[in-house]
Amino acid sequence: MRNLVPRILLSLLPGVLAALLVAPPSAAARGRSRRTIAVLEFRQDVSALPRLAERMAARIRKLTGHPVIGPTEARQKLGADVDDIVARCQGKPACVGALGARLGASEVILIGMSSLGDVIIQISRIRTSTRQPLTSVAHTTSASAKISDAVLDQWIRRLLPARDFLRYGFIQIRSNRKGADVLLDAARRGTTPLPGPLKVQAPSTHDIRVKKDGFIPFTAQVKVPPDATIQVNATLVPMSQAAIPYYKRWWFWTSIASGVAIVVGLSAGLAVGLRRSDDTVPAVIRW
């Protein structure tokens, strides 16, 4: 019995390794390059521009994909007195950085607002590990003015490094045939089975072609959302069956009649764009 357990584990090891090679990257693996950013707000007798920090947090989250702690999340983590703590910091980087560290953030973006007739906005980006300011943006506006999302985006792009706005997705290509050439946007990326998903900038659209001598080439066009994995199943059909396109085969119309979706597994209202072709098969979006 003592020898039986190690043998069972060894027999399972190849399958486990294979699963790790072809599995989509986990959220943790994709998030290694991300850093958490806290967005806090300090007002000196200013009631104009309500929820500016919350809006800034939402725009950073959308533009970069970084985890963001807005004022509401900060209060949930440290209590309702977090606003008093921010006020006592008086914008000092050492104090603000220490508060960001308590929140588990790598950086803090502090929005300070004061009024001398017009509203003066001073935004500072502070690294929590060094307690040092990195970048800043200043802006003056009337109390009745509104700050558009476009303006917020301009501020964010001035505050954060350009690499923060590069987002990625993954395309996982599988085939029923080994040794088939895989081309992504006409560039060869290997042969099936691929060792893992292909990383691409996102959002983006890509042409996929899988081909092997003696089989009808597979072609598809997929749209890759940020932080998502698109799974494409490339079924290669022998040339001997080339005279009968897939939409003339009995199983295709049987699937339609029975309500089977040709593109399955969609979530969040997103669709995969597949170019109509005799050899196009389903694609799946996974997060």
**Judgement on whether residues 143 and 51 belong to the same structural domain of the protein:** yes
> Looking at the predicted structure, is the pLDDT value of residue 22 above 90?
no
Please indicate, yes or no, if residue 2 is contained in any of the structural domains: no
Please tell me whether residues 116 and 39 are part of one structural domain: yes
User: What is the spatial distance between Cα 113 and Cα 48, in angstroms, rounded to a whole number?
Assistant: 9
Residue at which a domain ends, from 139, 165, 191: 165
**Boundary (domain end) residue, out of 123, 145, 165:** 165
Q: Does 119 fall in a domain?
A: yes
Q: Are residues 161 and 187 in the same domain?
A: no
Q: Report the pLDDT value the prediction gives residue 227, as an integer from 0 to 100.
A: 85
* Dihedral pair phi/psi, residue 207, rounded to 5°: -95, 130
**Same domain assignment for residues 189 and 217:** yes
The whole-number pLDDT of residue 259 equals 47
Q: Is residue 244 part of a domain?
A: yes
CATH of the domain at 49: 3.40.50.10610
CA–CA distance, 49 with 60 (Å, rounded to integer): 18
pLDDT value of residue 279 = 41
Residue 4 placed within a domain: no
| Same domain? 120 vs 173 | no
| pTM given for the model | 0.64
Listed in sequence order, the residues at least 6 apart from 5 whose beta carbon sits closer than 8 Å to its beta carbon are none
Q: What is the DSSP string of 209-268?
A: EEE-TTBPPEEEEEEE-TT-EEEEEEPPPBGGGTTS-GGGSHHHHHHHHTT--SS----T
pLDDT tens per residue across span 75-115: 999 998 999 999 999 999 999 999 999 999 999 999 999 98
| Mean predicted lDDT score pLDDT of the chain | 80
Residues 43 and 161 in one domain: yes
Per-residue pLDDT tens digits for 121-163: 999 999 999 999 999 999 999 989 999 999 999 999 999 999 9
> What is the tally of structural domains in the chain?
2
Domain span at 226: 167-286
Q: Classify residue 208: in a domain, yes or no.
A: yes
Instruction: Judge whether 38 and 105 are in contact, CB under 8 Å.
Output: yes
For residue 256, give the CATH number of its domain: 2.60.40.1120
For 206-215, how does the pLDDT look when each residue is reduced to its tens digit (9 = 90+)?
A: 999 999 999 9
In a domain, 262, yes or no: yes
Looking at the fold, whether 245 and 136 belong to one and the same domain comes out as no
pLDDT score, position 191: 96
Helix, strand and coil content of the chain, in percent to the nearest 5, comes to 30, 30, 35
Same domain as 220, residue 146: no
Q: What is the token pair recorded at 53?
A: 């920090």
Query: In angstroms, what CA-CA distances link 130 with 86, 215, 260?
Result: 18, 59, 56
pLDDT digits (tens, 9 = 90+) for 213-251: 999 999 999 999 988 999 999 999 998 876 555 555 554
| Domain-ending residue, one of 165, 189, 223 | 165
Give the span between the Cα atoms of 262 and 152, in whole angstroms. 41
Residue 208 and residue 233 in one domain? yes
**Rounded to whole angstroms, what are the CA distances from 60 to 42, 68, 118?**
18, 7, 26
Indicate whether 18 belongs to any domain. Answer: no
Q: Regarding predicted confidence, which is higher, 182 or 7? A: 182
Share of the chain above pLDDT 70, in %: 72
Q: Do 37 and 133 belong together in one domain?
A: yes
- Domain identity same for 175 and 160: no
pLDDT at 34: 79
Residue located via tokens 């949930």: 76
pLDDT of residue 186: 95
Query: Is 7 a domain residue?
Result: no
Cβ-in-10-Å burial (0-12, 13-18, 19+) of 31 comes to middle
Q: What is the pLDDT at residue 132?
A: 96
* Same domain for 175 and 113: no
Two tokens, residue 262: 């040709």
